[in-house]
Amino acid sequence: MISVSTVRRSARRLLQGLLLPAFSLTLVAALWAAVLFQVQLECGASRDEAVAHSQALARVLSEHINHVLRQSEHATHLFKLKYEETGGGHTLAMFASRGGLLNSVLPVRLELQMAVLDKNGVVTERANGFPGADRVAQKLFQDLARSRADTALFSIAAAVPGSAKWQVQVARRLNNRAGQFDGAIVILIDPDLFVDDYDRLNVQDNGALILMSSADGLSVGRLGERLFASRQLTFRPQRARGASSAELVPQVPLDGVERIYSYSDMPRYALAAVVGVETRVAMARFERQRAQYLSIAAIVSLLIAIITGVLVHQNARLRASTRAARRAQATLRAAADGSLDGVLILKAWPAGAAVIDDFIFEDINERGAALLGRTRAQLIGQKAFSKLPRYRKTGFFVRYVQVFQSGIPLEEEVELNVDGDAPRWIHHQIVPLQDGVAVTSRDITARKHAEIEIHNNRSFLQSLIEHLPLLVYVKSMREKSYGAMMVWNKAAESLTGYSADEVIGHVDTQVFPPDFALANREDDQAMLANPLVRDVPDQPLVRQDGSRRTMHSVSVPLCDEHGKTEFILCIAEDVTERRKQEQSLHASEAHLTAVTNASPLGLVRTDMSGNCSYVNKRFEAITGLTREQCLGHGWLTVFESDESSYMPAVFEHQRRHQEPYSRITRCRRTDGKLIWASTKIAAIRLNGRIEGFIGTLDDITTLRDAELALRESEARLRTIADTLPTMVAYIDAGQVYRFHNRAYDREFGREGAAVLGMTVVDTVGEQRYRVLAPFIARTLAGETVRFEEHDETGGAERTLEVTYIPQTGDDGASVIGFHVMRHDVTTQKSEKRRLLQLAQIDPLTGLANRAGFMLKLDSAMRQCEQGQLLMALMYLDIDHFKPVNDTFGHHVGDALLKAFSARLAQTLRASDTIARLGGDEFTIILDNLGRAEDATVLAAKIVQAMQKPFELDGATVSVSASIGLAYFSSGATDPDTLIKEADTLLYQAKQGGRNTYRAAA
């Protein structure tokens, strides 16, 4: 009979085996549900996007049609004005010719059919193949005859009776000079013009462009490259769930291509523009995304299946590993109980907490309990550091926590000092476990004490050898390690260039070259044969880098108890420098004699009483005395009598002072010639005691004559510089003033500053120096610099034209200073600014002219781009200004311009810039705008303000303003492009009927 425990165990295994596959199937099902839902959402969004694209194209088409129809209406108005102005003299041929008025509103190349009808409806003129008066709707003509309104009438009419071909008719009433009906002008527009040759719409190859009449159902369109016309084409809104309200569906399919349609109404002309894009093209991106979603879902499903299989396999292996671990745990328990080391299994407490307070003895062998002075039974299940609080101070607790938290094992030897116990050395290893740590410990106190004693002795000897200033090495003479280097101190490293790592433990012949002084096998064999101390006073040594040194070495044999040499101890001293000093001393004596004879100065050496014992050749050449004549006090005869009397006092002065005595003296050569000499006397002091005196004599007669000539030249240059109005100065490389003329005195005298010897920063102050420093740096680099300096000292603003000219040294390359020329150009700059300002002002209105406007516009655009600000440009002119000029005369026209300018200034902000470009054209720069709507509000305000009549010299004049408004924030737009954009918008405002404004998007 099967037991209950066996059934439970089997059920548990079955549940463990099925849980992971069931979870994976659920995850795959959820994944596919999410993917299908996302595909459905993407499909709806893509179709809405296609409808919005169709509607945008329909708006573009309707705006194009609206523009052509408005321009056609404007063309009839232009013809009416010219017709009535000339009493019918302006013909249709003149109007429609190239360069005529029609070309200003509609391109002549459109070749629209036009005709002029008299008051009876008879065609008097026609253009571009106008078919005949019967093509003009009778009702349309009658409406024109009855209506006195100056508006154009639009109608839809069939091009050929009974066919689907139709045209748009635009007609306007014409009056005679008496204001009576005199006929009409009619323009016929073929709707094919809008759908056949309009290249701004990209609807792909199978797209549809349709123009429909909402009044009588006529339509014309293009399907791909095929044109059609219909009287029965109708559309209905798409009623599918979730469809856009702007989507249309044809009642009858137009062809075999599936499309997505949308529309844009033109209520003024009873027309509607319909655009259809091919569904295949519009939904192509969705199809690609759907394929990607499905591919990704399939790949993820496959990965889930693979991962599930791997996890099921790993789970089986884990169960097998668990059973093996249990068997290993039993084996480990037996090994721990028989081990020579103490073994502790500690569990962190509290379990799972971020901060560990203690560890619990989960298991411990008898040897581990003995190390802690307890039995195993007393420790199992107890908190380790609560049970043994003395051990918390040892640092073991911190180490256990670190190993447990970091997961990094730790092995070390530590000295254990516990209150009441003798110090012990413990070798222990700490290994992290999942819920605690495992610790193995061994008492190594005896071994550690022996190691420490040996280490201390070795350290003492090693320190002694290492810090000796003498080379020390020990070489083995034993058979098994013959020639091996055992000791090699720091002095040996320094003297030979070989490091201890290269030498110690290696045989000398393998480390050193054959001719190396410390690796001579013949000397070693002699030492083995006759173990005596060997002293070599001068032993040459070639270092590792090839340089040569001289050593004094002593080799001592170290023998065993049988008198056999086991080691050779060598102690050596580097005597290279000592040998060099001895040689240098002998050479210095010879050199000194040669140097004194080659000196350009006359040299004399005397004893304490001034008796000469030596003079060089130069002294003989300067004075004309021979060496024999100079001995004793004979050398003093060269000085003039009043000069030589000073010498005893000079000697006495030198006995009390350290610095040499210096004096310019007059000397008389033996040939009677008087010379000037620079004489210096210095005491010879050895260990603080004066042994005699050294004197030098330098003939400066030629130099003194040159200095006198130089002073005269400097005086002349000083006089010239002081008479110049320009400030002239010289500044050395340290930026210290070394020369300046009187103009500089006047400049700095206002503050009583003494300039000579002062630095630039001391004279001008830190603030002005920061401005001048870059120019000074460029000049000291060898560049001649010219710039303008602005000075506001004393409350008066001045402009100085400054030139810095570098001064090079004798080598022609290094800059040793620079010359400064500063000239006050304040008056010239002020006059230049005044003339420039006059050149930028319109003399009639006092506003900025074109030049001033361009400067301000360029500056405003740069500031706007740098500060990420918004600005606007208005381009406006006065509507019907020319008739005012022609009717009232130019003086009234000028008065109107002034009054218009004044009203503009009153309407705008104080910070706005108004300019008159010429004639009746004005511009306004609006900078620092908070938002674009602020500019449109000002534009509307200007239009409204200009509608009020102007009272000018007894004449009342009514005009209006048309405005084009463009914006700028940042980008590649330049001033000319911004002006052209505003001008284009002004033209649109004119075409829109004047007395209004047009603003950019």
- Catalytic sites, residue numbers: 920
Which residues lie below 8 Å from residue 42, measured CB to CB, with a gap of 6+? 286, 289, 290, 293
Q: Are 916 and 901 in contact (CB under 8 A)?
A: yes
Q: Which residues of 821-848 are buried (b: 16+ CB within 10 A; e: fewer)?
A: bbbbeeeebeeeeeeeeeebbbeebebb
**What is the spatial order of strands in the sheet that 181-189 belongs to?**
123-127, 113-117, 181-189, 166-175, 152-158
* Helix orientation angle between 4-85 and 975-991, rounded to the nearest 10 degrees: 70
Residue 509, class by beta-carbon neighbours within 10 Å (0-12 exposed, 13-18 middle, 19+ buried)?
Answer: middle
> d(Cα 624, Cα 601) in Å, to the nearest integer?
14
Which residues lie below 8 Å from residue 497, measured CB to CB, with a gap of 6+? 543, 544, 545
What does the chain come to in residues?
1001
Structure tokens belonging to residue 372: 């802690």
Q: Are 753 and 763 in contact (CB under 8 A)?
A: yes
Place of tokens 């020579």: 340
- From residue 376, alpha-carbon distances to 122, 333, 884 in Å are 132, 14, 122
Place of tokens 């179709």: 47
Instruction: Tell me, rounded to whole angstroms, the distance of Cα 62 from its chain centroid.
Output: 48
Place of tokens 């140097």: 595
Q: Are 281 and 270 in contact (CB under 8 A)?
A: no
Q: Would you tell me how many other CB atoms lie within 10 Å of the CB of residue 809?
A: 11
Q: Are 311 and 303 in contact (CB under 8 A)?
A: no
Q: Are 105 and 74 in contact (CB under 8 A)?
A: yes
What's the one-letter identity of residue 918?
G
Half-sphere exposure of residue 99, counting CA atoms within 13 Å on the CB side?
A: 0
Using alpha carbons only, give the angle 80, 84, 88 rounded to the nearest 5 degrees.
100
Question: Residue 677: left if φ>0, alpha if ψ -120 to 50, beta else—which one?
Answer: beta
> d(Cα 575, Cα 709) in Å, to the nearest integer?
59
Structure tokens belonging to residue 737: 């003033």
What's the one-letter identity of residue 684?
I
DSSP string over 981-997: HHHHHHHHHHHTTSSSE
Place of tokens 């045989």: 507
Report the DSSP pairing between strands 358-364 and 410-416.
unpaired
> d(Cα 356, Cα 349) in Å, to the nearest integer?
6
Give me the phi and psi of 543, to 5 degrees please: -70, 170
**C-alpha dihedral, 263 to 267 to 270 to 273, nearest 10°:** -20
> d(Cα 550, Cα 88) in Å, to the nearest integer?
129
Which residues lie below 8 Å from residue 673, measured CB to CB, with a gap of 6+? none
- Residues forming a β-bridge with 37: none
Place of tokens 């002075």: 373
Sign of CA dihedral 613, 619, 621, 622: negative
Three-class secondary structure of residue 198 per DSSP: coil
Nearest to 851 by CA among 861, 843, 839, 860: 839
Structure tokens belonging to residue 531: 């173990």
Structure tokens belonging to residue 141: 């003509």
